[in-house]
Amino acid sequence: MFDWDLVRNTSGVHIVTRLAEERGMPVGECLAGTGVPHEAVIDRYADLSARQELTVVRNLLARFGDESGLGVEAGLRYRVSLRGPWGLALMASRTLRDAVQVALHCVEPAFAFGRLSFEEADGEGRLRFDDREFPEDVRAFLGERVMAGVQVIARELFSVGVPVRRLSFRHGAPADTARYRSVFGVEPDFGAAGTELAFDAAHLDVALPQANEWARSRCEQMCRDLLARRHARTGVAGAVRDLLIRNPGVLPDQSAVAAEMYVSARTLSRRLHEEGTSFRTLLDEVRQALSEELLNRTDMTTEQVAGRLGYAEAASFIRAFRRWQGCPPQEYRARGRMPELV
């Protein structure tokens, strides 16, 4: 059963209030009945309940519910894929199948009301959104928002989207379907048994292209901010660490880093030694900080985290993590979770 008292960040409400403002509806009217102050909508550290967000959605729909594809318009404004460790995890995905697994493990509380599920059958990959627990008056908006958000995430992170083969929604057909065709590339099937997006399963195991520069730089900055809270690094050590986090999930070895800096591996070792550190120490710093972030803030398995950090097998990662923390990853995770980043 969906928990309507689940605490969420304010990103969804921020998007809804922006939509309302653009249509001439004051923010105060959009927040009516929630008890949420206006300033909280733009506070990245504020939170609210799913019930409060639902009230904001209902306030919007009371004024503009006749607009075709309003939920699609809301979904187009989501940028959740670039927030915190979830963005890091997706950035490091090697295939679409890998990305789907990460997304389903980590996305639900922060992005979607309801449950997202995935199956592969009859040559298709099928992403489903279960909205059966939700009031009928908001189902269309929430279903459209999720499916459009999925499209944005794919394009944002991987530069190119995966062509939609077919799309279905449970709600009835709107008066105008132009917005749907523009976003998804197909005419949806309305009044269907469920909300589902399907694509050719052949795309699942194709290596994903390099994410676009904007997405990559945002994820790199997140890594840099995280590491800055642990260790301040300048000089050659700082340059090496910047190269290590430049492409999350593909950590280069010492020879590759040295080549990037136009020096030999031996010269790089000597310069790092002069600064009181080593390549191994810097690599451990990066891996340790990112592993703790992923274990604390996502539901990724130990094997998935190991893969993100460039380990060929989970056993090697577990040994390293035990050296860093004195316990295996699962024991560390069991001690408690940190709150989600906004």
Query: Residue 73 domain-assigned?
Result: no
Query: Residue 124 domain-assigned?
Result: yes
Domain around 139:
82-209
CB 288 within 8 A of CB 324: yes
202 and 299 fall within a common domain:
no
123 and 103 fall within a common domain:
yes
254 and 200 fall within a common domain:
no
Of 209, 241, 256, which one is at a domain's C-terminal end? 209
Q: Which residues contact 328 (CB under 8 A, 6 or more apart)?
A: 318, 321, 322
What gap in Å lies between CA 324 and CA 53, rounded to an integer?
40
| DSSP state for residue 129 in the 8-state scheme | E
Of 161, 184, 209, which one is at a domain's C-terminal end? 209
Query: Residue 180 domain-assigned?
Result: yes
Query: Residue 15 domain-assigned?
Result: yes
What gap in Å lies between CA 155 and CA 208, rounded to an integer?
11
Q: Which two tokens stand for residue 295?
A: 């274990």
Q: Which residues contact 214 (CB under 8 A, 6 or more apart)?
A: none
Count up the domains in the chain and report the number.
Answer: 3
257 and 316 fall within a common domain:
yes
Q: Could you list the pLDDT tens digit for every one of the 342 residues in the chain? A: 667 777 777 888 989 999 999 999 999 999 999 998 888 887 766 778 888 999 999 999 999 999 999 999 999 988 755 455 666 667 667 788 888 877 776 554 555 677 889 999 999 999 999 888 888 999 999 999 999 988 887 777 666 678 999 999 999 999 999 999 999 999 999 999 999 999 999 999 887 766 666 666 666 666 677 677 666 778 899 899 888 877 666 778 899 999 999 999 999 999 999 998 999 999 998 888 888 888 887 778 898 888 888 888 899 999 999 999 889 999 998 876 444 433
252 and 181 fall within a common domain:
no
Query: Residue 339 domain-assigned?
Result: no
In this prediction the pTM is 0.69
130 and 90 fall within a common domain:
yes
36 and 88 fall within a common domain:
no
